[in-house]
Structure formats: structure tokens, C-alpha cells
Homo-oligomer: A and B are copies of this chain.
Amino acid sequence: MNKKIINVAIVGVTGYGGLELLRLLHNHPTVHVVSIHNTSTDSEEISISYPHLKSMYKITPTPFDPVHIMQSADLVFFATSSGVSKDLAQPFIESNFPVIDLSGDFRLNATDYKTWYKKAPATQALLDQANYSLADFYQNDRHYIANPGCYATATLLALAPLAQQQLLDQENIIIDAKSGLSGAGKSLNLSSHFVNVNENFSMYKPNQHQHIPEITQQLKQWQPDVNHIQFTTSLLPINRGIFVSAYVKLNKQVSADTLQDIFETTYQDKPFIRIMPKDHLPNIKQVVGTNFADIGLTYNPDTKYLTIVSVIDNMIKGAAGQAIQNMNHLFNLDETTGLQLIAQYA
């Protein structure tokens, strides 16, 4: 293992993604957080506002200064809300400075971004310098990594084996995705008020979630005839975890055993993807707190639908953990470095 210390800066440190980066990087053996930045004007030591960090970090947010960051750090993480990094990233891109962007700003082309995020996009020239990088299929050749969205990660990992084998019946890809509340971030609104979430379950943005184009764009690279997916998202009354139920038909007949084989083969060298035994489905708790994606399948011969369940921790595999995994790749470390985490059983 490369023992050289990697100095990193984190922009947007007081959002959920930034705080999770701080937490996970604390146990990364070769990373040092040299500076943290947020978009507000907070400037007290971070453990004062975030007492869970007390005695673990003694660091104060400083104003965002790209030149200074490039002098003192080896990589910058953007853990900002959508619409922020597109305005801040240019100096890093122009300097070929390594960036891992957890936001959606560099995941789509300019047209799709405008359509789905309803905001002005970065210029296409800048976007062309970024690579969308699902860390388990890492094959990056650029310095700017657009880290995938949480729903997109869970969904793509569920469909990759079939898409890569050109097996999806593109008219019948139905995704019913559910997420814990941390996926919605820190913002205060009626839909994050405890009383509205607890003992409730609700679907939101049906057919309109901004992760849809990110998913179809990647699926298309694997299986070019896939144009659209039926995709809904719902809120689970839990803090963490994504549960994707995918119901798909195949474009030719494949036995259940062969399907199981295809999944096991696709992921046999991927340390973070665990395929359950045939007809066993994973639950959310077995991955919360980890960088794993656990996947199970069961085939219904009557309806010809294959049910695929894929579960991840939205804050780790779906955000900060995958970002670190991408960073490990970028710096030629073993991809599991700092990410060997086991879920709490109780």
C-alpha cells in the first residue's frame, strides 16, 4: 500500500455528506483532512456546533479559496448541494487538480441537467472534463470525478449484470426505490418534520427524480437500446438506507440459475458487492454503516418478472463511502482502504 499521506480539503463540510466524509476519513490510514469549508460564514471550531466530533477533530472552517486549496491539498471533495460546485469547480478543472464531486452538478450533460435540475448547468466544456464514476466499475481517466447519486448507485448495481449482457427488456424496467430520510439532507421542511415522517410512508417525485437521467445514461452505455425506466422514490421512516425493488422482464428466456450465475460472475471480483444465495433477499440493516451493496434475486415463472433487491447505505455507498472508494482508485490504493466496515447487528 502506498503510505504517502493524501491531504484533502472538503467543501460543504456541514452538510450530511461532508460530515460523513469527516467521519469515514478519520479511519482512513493515509488521508489527512487539511482544510474544511462551508457555504455559510460559520467560523467556530467544528466540534462546537457538532459535539459528536469533539476530541476527534480540532479544525475550523475557512473561507473557500481554490488557490490555497490547490497549494495545501492533493484532492478536494465537493459535498455541496446541487448548483454549487458548477460555479466553484472551474479553477480546479483548469489546473487538472483532482476533484471528487458528491453533488449532481457534473453527472449529466448540460441539456439533461437543465431539464431535471431546473437550474443553469455548467458549461458543456467543463462538463466534458468530468467522468461519471460508479466506483465498483471504475475506469476513470479524468481528474474530475462525478460521484453517482444514492438511488442511481443502488439501481445501477442491481441492473448492471443484465444490462452488460444486453438482457433487459427495455419496455419493462420498473424500479420502486425507497430511502431513509438522510437522503433528503438537512433542510427543514414539512416533509422532514418528525411528526410527518414517523409512522408514515410516502412516494415523492414519481417519474421526476433527478437520478433518472443519470441511471438511463449509464444503462445506455451498457445496453444501448435502453431509453427509459419506470422509476419512483419513496421515503422510509428511518435515518439511513436505500432499498431498491426492481421488477424487470428479460428480452430472452434465461433460467433462474443462469441469472444467479450472471450476477455472481459480474461481481466476483468486486469486494463491496455481495450477492445473496438464490431466492434470498437482503434487508437494509445488513448494509447500513458499510460500503457494501447487497443484492438478491428471485424469478417468477408465472409472470416472467425477475425481482431484484439491492440495498445500500445512502450516506456511505451512496455518497461519502463511494467517494472515498473513487479516491482510493484515483490514488492507486486498494479500493477497500478505510472502508472495511461491518453493519451493526443490533
Contact = CB atoms under 8 A, between A and B. Distances in A.
B240 A237 contact: no
Interface residues of A, number: 86
Contact of A199 (B19, B285, B290, B294): B285
A303 B201 contact: no
A330 to B, nearest CB: 24
Contacts of A178: 201
A280 B190 CA distance: 16
A48 to B, nearest CB: 9
B342 A26 contact: yes
Contacts of A189: 188
A220 interface: no
A343 B195 contact: no
Contacts of A292: 55
A152 interface: no
A192 interface: yes
A201 B26 contact: no
A193 interface: yes
Given A193-B194, A285-B200, A346 B182 contact: yes
A56 B19 contact: no
A230 B305 contact: yes
A346 B201 contact: no
Contacts of A23: 342-345
Interface in A223-264: 227-230, 232, 234, 236-241, 243, 245, 247
B174 A206 contact: no
B303 A229 contact: yes
B207 A239 contact: no
Nearest to A189: B188
Contact of A174 (B26, B198, B294, B305): B305
A27 interface: yes
A300 B174 CA distance: 12
A197 B285 CA distance: 9
Contact of A238 (B200, B305, B307): B200
A202 interface: yes
Contacts of A315: 344, 346
Interface of A: 16, 19-20, 22-23, 26-27, 50-56, 171-172, 174, 176, 178, 180-182, 186, 188-190, 192-203, 206-207, 227-230, 232, 234, 236-241, 243, 245, 247, 271, 274, 276, 280-290, 292, 294, 298, 300, 302-305, 307, 309, 315, 340, 342-346
A307 B26 contact: no
Given A52-B285, A52-B343, 20 more contacts: A16-B345, A23-B345, A51-B286, A51-B294, A52-B345, A54-B274, A174-B174, A178-B201, A181-B194, A188-B192, A193-B193, A197-B198, A198-B239, A199-B240, A202-B284, A206-B300, A228-B302, A230-B303, A240-B344, A289-B344
Contact of A50 (B50, B238, B345): B345
Given A193-B192, A199-B285, A300 B230 contact: yes
A236 B281 CA distance: 15
Given A232-B307, A286-B52, A345-B50, A202 B281 contact: yes
